[in-house]
C-alpha cells in the first residue's frame, strides 16, 4: 500500500466517523422503533419469498403446466437464473454510476428498487396469463433480472447502522429473508394442492413483489439511525 492509498482509506474512515450519530443509544432493541428497519426486514422477506418461491417451484411449474421435460427444464432454469446473475451486476453498476454522478442515496435506491419491484411484479403477473412456453421463460427471466437488482439490499445494514451495529442489522435482515424463504415453498405447495393450479401461486408471488415495492419506499437511505 502506498501513501496515497493510505490517505484515501484514512479520509474515508474519518468521513464515516463524522456521519455517525453522536447520541447513539447503543441498545439494539431501539432499532425496532424505526420505520426504515421494518422496511428493510419485511422488504427482504418479500424479496426472498419471490426468489425462493421461484427457485423451489418454477421447475415443477414448467413441467406440470407447460410440459417441459428434464432437458428443457434444465435449459430454461439456466437461462432464467443466469438472467438474474446479469441483473444483479447491472443493478450494482447502475447504482455506482448514478451515485458517482451526484445522485442522492434516496433517489438512487428508491428508484432502482421501485423499477425492480414493478418490473418483477409485472413479469410474474403476466406469466399467469401466457400460454406460450418460450414467452413464459422470457417473462421469468425478466422477473429474475430485475428482482436481483435488490441484491443492493445488502448495503442497508451499513447505511442504517453505526459501525458496531452493522452485524445486528445484517442478522435481522437475513432473519426476515429466511422466514420468507422457509415459509413460501410450504405456502405455495398448499395453494397448488388446494386449487389444483398455479394461478393463485403466481398471484402470491406478484403480491410479494408489491410488498417489496412498498417496503423499499419506507426506508430512509440517507439517515444513519442513532442506535
Structural domain span for residue 176: 3-217
Residue 160 has a pLDDT of 94
Please say whether the dihedral angle defined by the alpha carbons of residues 47, 51, 56 and 60, taken in this order, is positive or negative.
positive
Query: Is residue 224 assigned to a domain?
Result: no
Tens-place pLDDT, residues 125-167: 999 999 999 999 999 999 999 999 999 999 999 999 988 899 9
pTM of the entire structure? Answer: 0.88
Q: Are the beta carbons of 151 and 92 closer than 8 angstroms?
A: yes
Query: Is residue 60 assigned to a domain?
Result: yes
Please say whether the dihedral angle defined by the alpha carbons of residues 121, 194, 187 and 81, taken in this order, is positive or negative.
negative
Q: Among 212, 211, 101, 102, which residue's Cα sits nearest to residue 149?
A: 212
Residue 51 has a pLDDT of 96
Query: Is residue 210 assigned to a domain?
Result: yes
Number of domains forming the structure of the chain: 1
Tell me how far the alpha carbon of residue 97 is from its chain's centroid. 20
Q: Are the beta carbons of 106 and 220 closer than 8 angstroms?
A: yes
Query: Is residue 225 assigned to a domain?
Result: no
Residue 208, CA atoms < 13 Å, CB-side half-sphere: 29
Q: How far apart are CA 209 and CA 196, in angstroms?
A: 23
Tens-place pLDDT, residues 166-214: 999 999 999 999 999 999 999 999 999 999 999 999 999 999 999 999 9
Judged against a pLDDT cut of 90, whether residue 85 lies above it is answered with yes
Q: Which residue has the higher pLDDT, 174 or 10?
A: 174
CATH number of the domain where residue 127 is located: 1.20.1250.20
Amino acid at each position: 500500500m502506498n501513501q496515497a492509498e493510505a490517505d484515501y482509506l484514512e479520509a474515508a474512515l474519518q468521513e464515516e466517523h463524522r456521519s455517525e450519530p453522536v447520541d447513539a443509544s447503543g441498545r439494539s432493541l431501539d432499532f425496532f422503533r424505526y420505520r426504515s428497519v421494518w422496511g428493510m426486514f419485511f422488504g427482504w422477506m418479500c424479496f426472498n419469498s419471490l426468489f425462493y418461491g421461484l427457485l423451489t417451484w418454477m421447475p415443477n411449474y414448467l413441467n406440470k403446466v407447460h410440459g417441459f421435460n428434464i432437458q428443457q427444464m434444465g435449459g430454461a432454469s439456466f437461462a432464467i437464473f443466469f438472467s438474474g446473475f446479469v441483473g444483479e451486476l447491472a443493478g450494482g453498476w447502475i447504482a455506482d454510476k448514478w451515485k458517482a454522478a451526484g445522485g442522492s442515496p434516496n433517489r438512487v435506491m428508491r428508484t432502482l428498487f421501485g423499477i425492480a419491484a414493478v418490473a418483477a411484479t409485472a413479469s410474474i403477473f403476466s406469466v399467469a396469463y401466457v400460454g406460450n412456453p418460450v414467452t413464459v421463460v422470457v417473462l421469468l427471466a425478466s422477473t429474475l433480472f430485475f428482482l436481483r437488482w435488490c441484491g443492493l439490499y445488502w448495503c442497508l445494514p451499513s447505511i442504517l447502522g453505526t459501525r458496531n451495529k452493522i452485524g445486528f442489522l445484517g442478522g435481522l435482515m437475513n432473519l426476515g429473508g429466511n422466514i420468507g424463504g422457509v415459509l413460501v415453498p410450504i405456502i405455495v405447495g398448499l395453494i397448488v394442492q388446494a386449487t389444483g393450479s398455479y394461478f393463485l401461486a403466481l398471484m402470491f408471488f406478484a403480491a410479494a413483489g408489491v410488498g417489496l415495492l412498498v417496503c423499499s419506499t419506507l426506508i430512509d437511505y440517507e439517515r444513519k439511525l442513532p442506535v
